[in-house]
A and B are shown apart, each in its own frame.
Chain A
């Protein structure tokens, strides 16, 4: 039998909240064998939870092995957090070898207290495996490589699928959705004219200005027309067009088809005996293959126009001179070398856009991820293929 300590009542009061949670702990005069009493008072709610948690931590600890009575008679308000804190401290004391009894629980609080006690018994979340930074990097590199390779393979497979569907449609042209094709021509072509025209014009202006600055030193101002003609017609016009279309229409394709996928519209198409590729992909691909060469030609014209305006403004080259010099500098081959890439770029952009759209799964979040991916992949592939074309042309001597 331990020597009975003097009854030490400690009051820890929350300074901030006036009637916050309070704890009194001390020897229990009600228990004969020197039991310990912890009395909670005040409001045990979310607002005073930090103070309550501190109060419980700072309360004097019962002597080893003593029976503990947790007295809740003066708890004025109790919510889940308060009930959890009281339960937690009862459990901790129990784990330290004290026999804990809860007394004085008000009837209106007992249901909540019991519900929280039962919920608190659930084991905590399983602890996740520790991560090793270097190992993780290796794993991620491997995963990314494999998924990129798989993606390329799938994209080639998808290209094959679309080609077969195209071929089937050529044999049975009545199945082609003409309305859908025209709608997408309007969306991807006509509606892109203002932004594409403005950007191409500005690029022409910039190119002419930079070229003029350099060529003036040699007194070869007129050759700015050659510079403009070759660069705009062969590369800049088509590349600008493809990049803008990939950002504008490739992303739109992914978002449209992806949203349909989330709404199960694509599944519905499948169950009606219709082919999603025929219905969704082919009209978009066809529309883009028609509009992209036209847009590229338009971008060429606007780029040259911008250059001509700048040449007139800074070098006093008249439009007449500009046209004559352009005529002698570039032939029809240069124009064709640029425009021939357009249908290929169109196919790539449409393929990537539709493919990523069909790969959307589950949530709306997935639509966003796939749309970003479609734009990045589309632009990446356009530039890669442009480089391939350059090598090809130089080998062919075009």
Chain B
């Protein structure tokens, strides 16, 4: 295990015509952490994600993924690196002409020399790990609900056991119960698979419950810190974000959850003692 950050962004500049979205942005994502990325509309959260993934070229700056500068890679190296990253797009981006199982099997077929039987079995395990019922594998994306599409997308993103998992608004469009279940799923998978998670989100509950650190896009730069650090940040946007009515509600919910967990633990201890 290296101590070097899994994702290192230095001096990133992004421009669309005359408009500058990022101006000298620096970001480090450490191995094994869950980083939540927030920011107002139009601050370039999804653009940052696409730049790290190599879908958009930045105007200036360096992006290192797993210690490799993405600009220096040749085709083969880039493909190898892409096999170590998994992406869950906002609307799943499942291939609509394929079943869920075929979607999950596609990267395995393309990037590994496993036998078809083993690929099918691995795909079945991934689908089950993503919390989908066994019959979901034979269904087409059009037959699935929004929450199931996200889970299927997650199963495909995890097909190659990536080191880094990118999530673009994973809980958007889910009902609160589904969103909470999805958060729990991501947290469980992150722990068992040892993933580094880069999560663009608007969901304050996700931020407070599963993110280790939070990166806030403000003033064309990024401010990374723990929840406690951001709560103390006087920057007006960050203050409004975390101290607004929704922010407060999410924090209260977190406190309540923690309090309940402590009570349960105390009760257990008492019962044992």
Contact = CB atoms under 8 A, between A and B. Distances in A.
Interface of A: 45-47, 49-50, 53, 79-81, 84, 88, 108, 111-112, 114-116, 118-126, 128, 362-365
B2 interface: no
A120 B127 CA distance: 10
Contacts of B134: 122-126
B125 interface: yes
B97 A365 contact: yes
Nearest to A123: B134
A383 B22 CA distance: 58
Given A84-B121, A125-B124, A115 B114 contact: no
Please classify the interface of chain A as helix (H, G, I), strand (E, B), loop, or mixed, using the class held by over half of its residues: helix
A379 to B, nearest CB: 25
A70 B122 CA distance: 21
A80 B158 contact: yes
A112 B129 CA distance: 10
A95 to B, nearest CB: 16
B122 A119 contact: no
B224 to A, nearest CB: 26
Interface string B114-132: 1100100110111011000
A79 B192 contact: no
B39 interface: no
Interface residues of B, number: 31
A50 B97 CA distance: 29
12 contacts: A47-B112, A108-B194, A112-B192, A112-B193, A115-B129, A119-B125, A119-B126, A119-B128, A125-B138, A126-B134, A126-B135, A363-B96
B129 A46 contact: no
A87 to B, nearest CB: 9
Interface in B178-226: 188-189, 191-194
Contact of B125 (A50, A80, A364): A80
A123 B188 CA distance: 21
Given A115-B129, A122-B124, A122-B128, A80 B193 contact: yes
Contacts of B194: 108, 112
A111 to B, nearest CB: 4
Given A80-B126, A122-B134, A125-B135, A88 B112 contact: no
Contacts of A47: 112
A180 B138 CA distance: 44
A166 to B, nearest CB: 35
A365 B97 CA distance: 8
Contact of A81 (B97, B122, B124, B135): B122
A46 to B, nearest CB: 6
Contact of A363 (B115, B141, B189): B141
B86 to A, nearest CB: 12
A84 B125 contact: yes
A84 B122 contact: yes
B229 to A, nearest CB: 29
B251 interface: no
B122 A80 contact: yes
B96 A116 contact: no
A88 B96 contact: no
Given A81-B122, A122-B128, A49 B138 contact: no
A128 B138 CA distance: 9
Contacts of A53: 114-115, 118
Contact of B142 (A114, A115, A363): A363
B23 interface: no
Nearest to A83: B125
A283 to B, nearest CB: 31
B235 to A, nearest CB: 36
Nearest to A82: B161
A120 B125 contact: yes
A114 B125 CA distance: 12
A363 B121 CA distance: 29
Contact of A362 (B115, B142, B161): B142
B160 A46 contact: yes
Contacts of B191: 111
Given A80-B126, A84-B125, A88-B121, 15 more contacts: A50-B114, A80-B122, A80-B125, A80-B158, A80-B193, A84-B121, A111-B191, A112-B194, A115-B129, A115-B192, A119-B126, A126-B135, A128-B138, A363-B96, A363-B141
A49 B114 contact: yes
Contacts of B142: 362-363
A305 B141 CA distance: 54
B75 to A, nearest CB: 20
B137 interface: yes
Contacts of B115: 50, 53
A382 B101 CA distance: 42
Nearest to A111: B192
A80 B107 CA distance: 15
